[in-house]
Amino acid sequence: MSAVIDNHAPAHGHDSHDHGDHHGAPHGLMRWVTTTNHKDIGTMYLWFSFIMFLVGGVMALTIRAELFEPGLQIVSPEFFNTMTTYHGLIMVFGAIMPAFVGFANWLIPLMIGAPDMAFPRMNNWSFWLLPPAGILLMSSFLLPGGAAGVGWTMYAPLTSQMGPGMDTTIFAVHLLGMSSIMGSINIITTILNMRAPGMTMMKMPMFVWTWLITAYLLIAVMPVLAGAVTMTLTDRHFGTSFFNAAGGGDPVLYQHIFWFFGHPEVYIIAIPAFGVVSQVIPAFSRKPLFGYASMVYATSSIAILSFIVWAHHMYTVGMPVAGQLYFMYATMLIAVPTGVKVFNWVATMWKGSLTFETPMLFALGFLFLFTLGGFTGLVLSLVPVDVQLQDTYYVVAHFHYVMVAGALFSAFAGVYFWFPKWTGKMYDEKLGKIHFWLTLVFFNMIFFVQHFLGLAGMPRRIPDYNPQFTEFNQISTIGAFGFGLSQLLFLYILLKAIKSGKPAEQKQWDGADTLEWTHLPTPMPYHTFENPPTVK
C-alpha cells in the first residue's frame, strides 16, 4: 500500500514560475464572506454540504426510529411526513449537489490550468445563496401549521393545502435553483474559455468533462423546476389554476413538469460522481482510463437520453399504453451507455497494478453498489413490474443505492483522494479504511432489506406498517444508526488530519496524473496557475 506514496517526488513543485502567491490567504471571518478564490469557495461548499448531510441524516434517523416498530411511537404522522419531505430536499439540494459543486470549484481550475473560475464574484454569490436557502427551508418548521409534508417532489394538489411552510420551501427552492444556475454558468464558461494552452477538449480529465455535461443539464432543467414551484406559488396565492382541477387545471401536469426536471436531476447528481470515480480508479490501477473517448460519448448520451424518459416515474397516473411502452423502452436504452461506463471502469482495472487505499475502496464500493442500483432501476422501468412496485420500499431501496452508494460513496472517494492535495496533510489510512467498511456494511443493512420489504408490498412514506414487516424494518433501523455514527468517525478523521496529519507529498498517489498533482506543490499556494502551464 505504501507503494503509492512516491517518496521521490520533489518537495516543491517543479513549476517554479508559478509563484504569484506573495501574501497567502487573508485571515479572519471576512476572508470567507468576501472571498472570490475558487479554493475557499470549494471548501465552503464542501463544509456546507457536510453540515446539511448531518441535518438530513438526523431526519433520516427520526424516520427510522419511528419505523423500528409497527404502530406510532415517536412522532405524529404529520411530522413524519415533513421528515421524509425535508430529508429528501436537504439531501438532494443541500448535501449532494453542493458537495459536487465544491469538487468542481476546487478541481476544475486546477485540472485545466486556469487561474480561477471565470466569474469569481458571481462564484461567491452562488455559494452565499445557500445558507439563506438552508435557513429558509428549516424555518418552515417554525411557521403555523409546521413544515410542508408533501414529499420532496411537492406534488399538487397537496401543495395547495399546506400552510405558509410551503411558501418558505418554494422560496428556498428558488434560491437553490439560482445558485445552481449561476454555478453552472461559471463552470461552463471556465471550461470553454479558460483552458491552458494545449489543453484541448479531448485532453481534459474525465472529471472536467462530466461537470461540463452536468452544468448544461442544470441550465436546461433547473429553470423548469423553478417554473413548476412558481406555478404552485401562483396557484396558492394569485388565483391561477395550473394544477387545480376545480379551476380547469391538471394536477398530473405538475408531475410531468416536475419529472422533466427530476429525471435529469438524477444524472446531475450521478454524472459528477462518475467523474470522481473516473479519476480515482485509473490512479489506483496505475493505468490511463480505459476508453476515454467512449466515456465522453457515453456520458453525453446519458445526458441527452435523460430528457426523454421522465414519465417512467408516472406509469400509474393513467397514461395510454403507447406512452407506457415508449417511456419503458427509452428508459431501458439508458442502460447501454451506462453499461459502457461500467465496462470501462472494470477494463481500467484489468491487468493494472492495483492497490486499495481508502479512495479506491470507496470507488469500488461505488462500482458494485451503483451498478446494483442501476439494475433495480432497470427492473422498475418495466411497466408491469412498476405498477406493482410503485410507491413501495423497493423504490426507496433503488434510489438510495443510486444516491448513497452512488453519489455519496463517490464523494467520500473524492474527499479522501484530494484531501492531501487540498490541505497538505495526510489522513489516517487505517481509520479511513475502517470508515469505508463500516459505511459499506451499515449501508447494505439499511437498504438491502428494503428491497424485500418493497417486494412484499410495504408502501413508502408511512409511519406505521403491518407487523409482518417488523424484522426487516428493525434491521434497517439498526443499520441506519450504525451508518450515522460511522459518519462521525469521518468527521473525526478529517479534523484529526487537519490538526495533526502527516505532511502529504506533492504527488501523494503515484498513479495520479492530472495537473494539480504534476504541476503544483503540496500544500498549494493560494493562487495557482496565474501563468498557465503548457500542456503537451
Partner 1 sequence: MDKLAPVMDDPRRKDNIRTGIILALLAAASFFGFFAKVYFFR
Among 64, 195, 236, 263, interactor with Cu ion by CB under 5 A: 263
CB of 371 to Cu ion, least distance (A): 17
Among 194, 480, 494, 524, interactor with partner 1 by CB under 8 A: 194
Report the C-alpha gap between 409 and 403 in whole angstroms. Answer: 9
Which one of 174, 263, 421, 435 is the catalytic residue? 263
CB of 334 to partner 1, least distance (A): 22
Identify which of residues 13 and 479 has a Cβ nearer to partner 1 in the complex.
Answer: 13
278 is a catalytic site residue: yes
CB of 457 to Cu ion, least distance (A): 22
Residue of closest CB approach to Cu ion: 263
256 is a catalytic site residue: no
358 is a catalytic site residue: no
Report the C-alpha gap between 91 and 76 in whole angstroms. Answer: 22
Residue 265 burial (C-beta neighbours within 10 Å; 0-12, 13-18, 19+): buried
Q: Is cis: bond before 264, omega within 30 of 0?
A: no
Identify which of residues 96 and 208 has a Cβ nearer to Cu ion in the complex.
Answer: 96
Q: Give the total of residues touching partner 1 (CB under 8 A).
A: 47
116 is a catalytic site residue: yes
286 is a catalytic site residue: no
Residue 37 makes contact with partner 1 by CB under 8 A: yes
Residue 173: which of 157, 193, 150, 154 has the closest Cα?
154
Number of residues that make up the chain:
536
Angle ∠(185,186,189) on CA atoms, nearest 5: 80
Residue 4 burial (C-beta neighbours within 10 Å; 0-12, 13-18, 19+): buried
Q: Which stretch binds partner 1 (CB under 8 A): 79-87, 224-232, 316-324, 470-478?
A: 224-232
Identify which of residues 151 and 352 has a Cβ nearer to Cu ion in the complex.
Answer: 151
Residue 435 makes contact with Cu ion by CB under 5 A: no
CB of 519 to partner 1, least distance (A): 17
CB of 185 to partner 1, least distance (A): 4
Pair 207, 279: CB distance under 8 Å:
yes
Residue 219 makes contact with partner 1 by CB under 8 A: yes
Report helix angle 429-455 to 358-381, nearest 10: 10
Identify which of residues 153 and 355 has a Cβ nearer to partner 1 in the complex.
Answer: 153
341 is a catalytic site residue: yes
Residue 117 makes contact with partner 1 by CB under 8 A: yes
Angle ∠(456,91,462) on CA atoms, nearest 5: 35
285 is a catalytic site residue: no
Residue 398 makes contact with Cu ion by CB under 5 A: no
Which one of 338, 381, 392, 439 is the catalytic residue? 338
**With left for phi above 0 and alpha for psi between -120 and 50, is residue 424 left, alpha or beta?**
left
What are the φ/ψ torsions at residue 393 (nearest 5 degrees)?
-65, -15
Residue 87 makes contact with Cu ion by CB under 5 A: no
CB of 262 to Cu ion, least distance (A): 7
What are the φ/ψ torsions at residue 425 (nearest 5 degrees)?
-120, 150
Report the C-alpha gap between 409 and 439 in whole angstroms. Answer: 9
433 is a catalytic site residue: no
| Element of type H or E holding 275 | helix 251-285
Question: Which residues ranging from 16 to 35 are in contact with partner 1 (CB under 8 A)?
Answer: 20, 23, 25-26, 30-31, 34-35
What one-character DSSP code corresponds to residue 510?
T
Which one of 341, 398, 421, 527 is the catalytic residue? 341
Strands 425-426 and 502-503: antiparallel
338 is a catalytic site residue: yes
Q: What is the amino acid identity at position 9?
A: A
87 is a catalytic site residue: yes
Q: Give the total of residues touching Cu ion (CB under 5 A).
A: 1
CB of 395 to Cu ion, least distance (A): 11
234 is a catalytic site residue: no
Report the C-alpha gap between 363 and 459 in whole angstroms. Answer: 32
Report the C-alpha gap between 28 and 364 in whole angstroms. Answer: 39
Identify which of residues 263 and 400 has a Cβ nearer to Cu ion in the complex.
Answer: 263
- Residue with grid cell 448513497, as numbered in its chain: 404
What one-character DSSP code corresponds to residue 233?
H
**Residue 26, C-beta contacts closer than 8 angstroms, at least 6 positions apart:** none
Q: Which stretch binds partner 1 (CB under 8 A): 140-148, 218-226, 296-304, 322-330?
A: 218-226
Cell digits of residue 47: 463544509
486 is a catalytic site residue: no
Residue 181 makes contact with partner 1 by CB under 8 A: yes
User: What b-and-e string marks burial along 476-513, b requiring 16 or more CB atoms within 10 Å of the CB?
Assistant: bbebbebbbebbeebeebbeebeeebeebbbbbbbbbe
Residue 47 makes contact with partner 1 by CB under 8 A: no
Q: Which stretch binds partner 1 (CB under 8 A): 55-63, 110-118, 314-322, 483-491?
A: 110-118
Q: Which does 263 bind (CB under 5 to 8 A by kind): Cu ion, partner 1, none?
A: Cu ion
Pair 9, 506: CB distance under 8 Å:
yes
Question: Active-site residues: which are they?
Answer: 87, 116, 152, 179-180, 263, 265, 267, 278, 312-313, 338, 341, 460
Residues that bind Cu ion (CB under 5 A): 263
By the criterion CB under 8 A, which residues form the site for partner 1?
20, 23, 25-26, 30-31, 34-38, 114-122, 181, 184-186, 188-189, 192-194, 219-224, 226-227, 230-231, 242, 249-250, 253, 257, 526-527, 530
